[in-house]
């Protein structure tokens, strides 16, 4: 009996390298991937290993492997994230568009190589067209040139713009855009300034 069991185990082990073992499930691969990631990074500067701990939104979007979320998943993610948005207590959503432009240009912030004392930017131009003067813009996000000129300068559009900067996942589940307010990338004043870059009639974005 013992011998038969041992032989069976030995045969099983011998077959493993030949690919006869059942391939790991998707869940097993996810678990292995997560464990391997944790063992493959080191905390440096301001970037600790806790950055590899996903929240529910990150986990669900990762699991989609690049595909669009289902209607149910999208609604769940958007509802959860919408609840996190905090509008300024003073009710003013528009800061200084000139500062907003500087924040939109600034690519530094939150990298392990960055000074923890700052600066921290939004790097909007990495992905979006904004002012017509800046020709070096990326295309991962849509063009925001004439953002308010096309959508109107009203209070609802201001709230939408500020909210989108604060937590983009509230409006488009699994978007490529960071959650600048929710994840503490930008300060409230910085978000007001970037909102002004989009919404101020004097901003070159709306010229």
Tell me: does residue 135 bind other proteins (CB under 8 A). Answer: yes
Tell me: does residue 176 bind other proteins (CB under 8 A). Answer: yes
Which residues are CB-contacts of 197 (< 8 A; sequence separation ≥ 6)?
97, 100, 101, 103, 104, 124, 130, 203, 205
Residues 85-124, mask of contacts with other proteins (x by CB under 8 A): -------------------------xxxx-----------
Residue 128, SS3?
coil
**Three-state secondary structure along 63-117?**
HCCCCCCCHHHHHHHHHHHHCCCCCCCCCCCCCCHHHHHHHHHCCCCCCCCCCCC
Residues 17-46, mask of contacts with other proteins (x by CB under 8 A): x-x-x-xx----xx-xxx-xx-xxxxxx--
* Shorter beta-carbon distance to other proteins: residue 5 or 136: 136
Tokens representing residue 81 in the block: 């994230």
Instruction: Please state the closest distance from residue 87 (CB atom) to other proteins, in A.
Output: 21
Give the footprint of other proteins on this chain (CB under 8 A). Answer: 16-17, 19, 21, 23-24, 29-30, 32-34, 36-37, 39-44, 47-49, 51-54, 57-58, 61-66, 110-113, 125-127, 135-140, 169, 176, 178-179, 183-185
């Amino acid at each position: 009996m013992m011998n038969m069991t041992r032989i069976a185990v030995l045969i099983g082990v011998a077959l493993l390298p030949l690919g006869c073992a059942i391939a790991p499930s998707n869940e097993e691969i996810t678990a292995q991937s997560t464990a391997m990631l944790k063992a493959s990074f080191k905390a440096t500067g301001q970037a600790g290993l806790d950055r590899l701990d996903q929240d529910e939104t990150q986990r669900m979007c990762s699991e989609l492997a690049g595909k669009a979320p289902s209607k149910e998943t999208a609604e769940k993610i958007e509802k959860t994230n919408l609840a996190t948005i905090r509008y300024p207590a003073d009710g003013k959503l528009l800061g200084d568009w000139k500062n907003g432009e500087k924040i939109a240009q600034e690519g530094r912030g939150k990298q392990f190589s960055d000074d923890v004392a700052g600066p921290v930017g939004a790097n909007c131009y990495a992905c979006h067209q904004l002012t017509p003067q800046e020709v070096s813009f990326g295309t991962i996000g849509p063009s925001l040139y004439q953002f308010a000129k096309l959508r109107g300068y009203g209070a609802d559009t201001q709230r939408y713009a500020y909210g989108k900067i604060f937590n983009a996942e509230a409006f488009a589940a699994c978007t490529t855009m960071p959650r600048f307010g929710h994840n503490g990338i930008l300060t409230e004043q910085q978000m007001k300034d970037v909102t002004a870059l989009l919404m101020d009639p004097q901003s070159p974005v709306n010229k």
